[in-house]
Structure formats: structure tokens, C-alpha cells
């Protein structure tokens, strides 16, 4: 099997999406990344709903050094978006009456909440 690299007119080498490797995020990677983001917030390196260029550069360097990888900024930004989506989803569940159990790190709800949620989700399809 041969790998195909695409070189555009500027000399940029692009690896086709089918050839890219995915990052297998572990709980320790997520935890470390979250700690890096909290640190950057404390340093005031944020803009709008994200981080400024310096924050991304710093987090990327520290993250790659810690885990011995060579990820690009895109990998961390995509994980940031995914974690933010998880946070918003959980926040929405809590607004609907679900409870967050800190000890078990999971959402809890009485059966009537689950039944109502399943009923609504079934109607949306």
C-alpha cells in the first residue's frame, strides 16, 4: 500500500484525511489539558469564548512535552470544542432537572425525568 501526499502550489504537503491518525484521548490527557486551560484563564489569555494565540502556543508546547507527541494546534482546538460541547450538554441536562453527582462524576435523575427525556427525544426523530 502506498501513501499519497498532495503538494499544492505553495509547496505545502497535505496528508489526505484517510491517512491522518486520530488522537486517542485518555482521561489523563483531558485532565491535563483542562488544567492547562484553567491556568491560561488565570493568566488572562482569553478572547471571546476561547483563548488567544499565545495561550494556544503555550498549551500546545506544554501538552506535547508532557505526552511526547507532536500535535498541531488544530488537535487541541478540536478537543477544546468537544469538551465545551460536553459541558454545554451536561449544563442543559441539569437545567432540565437532572442532577450532577460529584462523587460518581455522572448525571442522575429520577425515572420520570428519564422517561420524559426519552419521550421528547423519540419525537424529534
Count the helix, strand and coil residues of the chain and give each as a percent rounded to the nearest 5. Answer: 55, 10, 30
**Tens digits of per-residue pLDDT, 68-94?**
999 999 999 999 999 999 999 999 989
Residue 49 lies in a domain: yes
What's the CA gap between 79 and 11, in Å, rounded? 28
Residue 65 lies in a domain: yes
For the chain, how many structural domains are there in total?
A: 1
Give the model confidence (pLDDT) of 5-54 as tens digits. Answer: 444 454 444 444 444 567 889 999 999 999 999 999 999 999 988 999 99
Q: What is the mean pLDDT of residues 53-69?
A: 96
Look at residue 17 and tell me if it is in a domain: yes
Domain housing 63: 6-124
- Does the structure show a pLDDT above 90 at 110? no
Helical packing angle, 27-42 and 73-95, nearest 10°:
90
Residue 1 located in a structural domain: no
Amino acid at each position: 500500500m502506498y501513501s499519497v501526499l498532495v503538494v499544492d502550489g505553495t509547496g505545502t504537503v497535505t496528508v489526505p484525511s484517510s491517512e491522518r491518525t486520530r488522537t486517542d484521548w485518555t482521561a489523563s490527557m483531558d485532565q491535563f489539558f483542562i488544567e492547562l486551560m484553567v491556568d491560561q484563564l488565570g493568566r488572562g489569555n482569553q478572547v471571546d469564548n476561547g483563548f488567544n494565540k499565545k495561550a494556544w502556543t503555550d498549551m500546545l508546547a506544554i501538552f506535547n512535552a508532557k505526552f511526547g507527541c507532536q500535535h498541531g494546534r488544530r488537535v487541541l482546538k478540536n478537543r477544546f470544542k468537544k469538551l465545551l460541547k460536553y459541558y454545554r450538554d451536561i449544563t442543559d441536562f441539569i437545567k432540565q432537572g437532572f442532577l450532577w453527582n460529584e462523587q460518581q462524576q455522572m448525571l442522575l435523575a429520577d425515572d420520570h425525568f428519564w422517561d420524559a427525556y426519552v419521550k421528547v427525544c423519540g419525537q424529534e426523530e
